[in-house]
Structure 1
């Protein structure tokens, strides 16, 4: 597959994958819910395609949280710890962003918790979010996480994962020949052998590409990805598709989301992971409260629960999307996560403002 961005271009936000893809492609990802998780999902967790009831009118009714379709274990954890009732509405990033936009005049949600910091940053600038509120544990954020807290305090980071690391098939490439930097992916020796996810479709793929544009400038970002295109890069809808192509021999090297990469390695596939010295672009997960929520106390309690070190440790130890860098201090990442893992990220405001432009540029490459 050449650089053919999928016809269903998503311009509202980066989209997550489906649960079915994750099962079929043997890769737990930031875009999907595992089959085991799906079978144990809470009975009152709503699909993003279902029509929710209006926002609860009093604090005795559940807090409605829109979140990516993984880590639904947060419901029993939060309810047991606080006594508040929680209703989860899950879906991929594009679905949830579309719902939020459609409900702008009458929001049905109280809290949004997603891997879509640029989109949520834009929501804050559009005055959709509760601002000027400070969670009690904000001083316990790591230095890395503090940089993502906006001056308005409209949202807060709960963790970050690598939108892509470099991973290669050890049956096709030895360690000495393997790429070490992002620039290496354009090396002629990897012509037609590199794969990545579509930034217009896959949730982590937009944070991945936006870092190059934000750090280097729009022209330099285009030049870099043009060099990959000329080198025959394969673009797949989502990260599980990339993982399948890598293990199946269709490609030899990939820019692959962190959890997908570690899932392959932990399952015994012949792969090795490389964290580029210049850093791996991060997808930052943030939580924000709807400005006019009728459940402010419960909403604030939920955000503070997400920032609690004990909660983040539980998500790492037991969650579906467990490979990430916590935002709270004194939380231990997965033991097999590289000790030298370095994350970098495009500035949220800039990435949000240029999202449509960058995605459109990638879409335009499909007809060239």
Structure 2
């Protein structure tokens, strides 16, 4: 009898423990994101500290994540995404309709009006260069056509890399001619510049935008086209006395910059809808926005009242090129088609 009681006791203990472990995993989310992995490692523990909800993440390129979400539509393997707003709004059938409880805190231009994408930060394309490898400072896109830079420019595949595509879009609008964006992207001046730029790459395309900064730092490339996320990472390291970054400079293009919003959204079919709503709400809250502003390199919070790290504060006004997500989405395929024609002609 004692033996039977002992066996039953052990069985009940194991049952209770398994149940407890199961409850713990219910308090976890899986996030797909193409934002800086360093920033994910900083922000997600802050969310867990505030809510008790752990977030496991899978980091990949935007294109790969979008493909993955579509392939997993019948059996979602993640719960939330943090991606460029345009990629979420391009096909909303894969996302749940949810508007954050903080939506009314935002300026009208940043509010979630579609029901799917909650804007939480924006980023701006930049040029990162090694001053030891150039004769004169880099100031903008026009600098990239210098003969001395041939084969020494780090640029990704604009058909699959969001950072490369956004630089392409920025480049066309900055270097094109016309009374509006529609005229600029069709102008000969824009595409003549793109062709000259691609020729100066000397048939070299980097396979991952993650190597842009490291390639410039180690001298493999003289200049790289990236986001200010990586730019701020370099500036911060330089200010902290890291000698590897002593010769690294970061500039916004003098011809103009196109800021891009990034958003969080809930993947359709998640079994953890309540937890995902808490994630979206926290990311768009004052607390979440303060974390983005103070602790994340190169991520600019959307909320106007968010706190900012000192190195993010600038007295230099930027030359912003106005653009809407709807316009960018509707013109993207046309831009890619034109780009592919030029690319194949040069790289063939």
TM-score, reference length from structure 2? 0.71
CA–CA distance in structure 2, aligned partners of residues 270 and 297 of structure 1: 48
Deviation string, structure 1 residues 202-232 (Cα, Å, up to 9, x no partner): 4422222123446421455433211212344
CA–CA distance in structure 1, aligned partners of residues 223 and 56 of structure 2: 41
> Does 1:102 pair with 2:64?
no
Deviation string, structure 1 residues 208-263 (Cα, Å, up to 9, x no partner): 21234464214554332112123446532234433344344454333233233333
Higher helix share: 2
CA–CA distance in structure 1, aligned partners of residues 145 and 112 of structure 2: 35
CA–CA distance in structure 2, aligned partners of residues 278 and 241 of structure 1: 25
CA–CA distance in structure 2, aligned partners of residues 90 and 239 of structure 1: 13
Q: Is the 8 A contact 2:45 2:54 kept in 1?
A: no
Within a 5 Å distance, the mapping from 1:94-243 to structure 2 comes to 94-114=63-83, 116-124=84-92, 127-131=93-97, 133-141=98-106, 143=107, 146-149=108-111, 151-162=113-124, 164-173=125-134, 177-187=136-146, 190-213=149-172, 215=181, 216-220=184-188, 221-232=190-201, 234-243=204-213
Q: Is the 8 A contact 2:126 2:250 kept in 1?
A: yes
Question: For structure 1, which segment, 100-109 or 330-339, has the greater mean C-alpha deviation from structure 2 after superposition?
Answer: 330-339
Counterpart of 1:309 in structure 2 is 286
Deviation string, structure 1 residues 298-344 (Cα, Å, up to 9, x no partner): 2222111001222232244444xx22211112223332236136465
CA–CA distance in structure 2, aligned partners of residues 260 and 348 of structure 1: 23
SS of the residue corresponding to residue 246 of structure 2 reads coil
Q: Is the 8 A contact 2:103 2:111 kept in 1?
A: no
User: Are the structure 2 counterparts of residues 301 and 242 from structure 1 closer, same or farther at C-alpha, using a change threshold of 3 Å?
Assistant: closer
Q: Which of the residues 236, 244, 251 maps onto 1:274? A: 251
> Does 1:92 pair with 2:61?
yes
CA–CA distance in structure 1, aligned partners of residues 143 and 197 of structure 2: 10
CA–CA distance in structure 2, aligned partners of residues 302 and 328 of structure 1: 16
Paired positions, count = 300
User: Are the structure 2 counterparts of residues 261 and 84 from structure 1 closer, same or farther at C-alpha, using a change threshold of 3 Å?
Assistant: closer
CA–CA distance in structure 2, aligned partners of residues 250 and 357 of structure 1: 33
Deviation string, structure 1 residues 140-199 (Cα, Å, up to 9, x no partner): 33x5xx53545322101111122x31233323446xx32323233235565555443332
CA–CA distance in structure 1, aligned partners of residues 143 and 64 of structure 2: 35
Counterpart of 2:28 in structure 1 is 62
Larger radius of gyration: 2
Kindly report the root-mean-square deviation, in angstroms, between the aligned alpha carbons of the 2 structures.
3.4
> Does 1:333 pair with 2:298?
no
User: Are the structure 2 counterparts of residues 74 and 184 from structure 1 closer, same or farther at C-alpha, using a change threshold of 3 Å?
Assistant: closer
User: Are the structure 2 counterparts of residues 335 and 209 from structure 1 closer, same or farther at C-alpha, using a change threshold of 3 Å?
Assistant: same
CA–CA distance in structure 2, aligned partners of residues 102 and 203 of structure 1: 20
TM-score, reference length from structure 1? 0.68
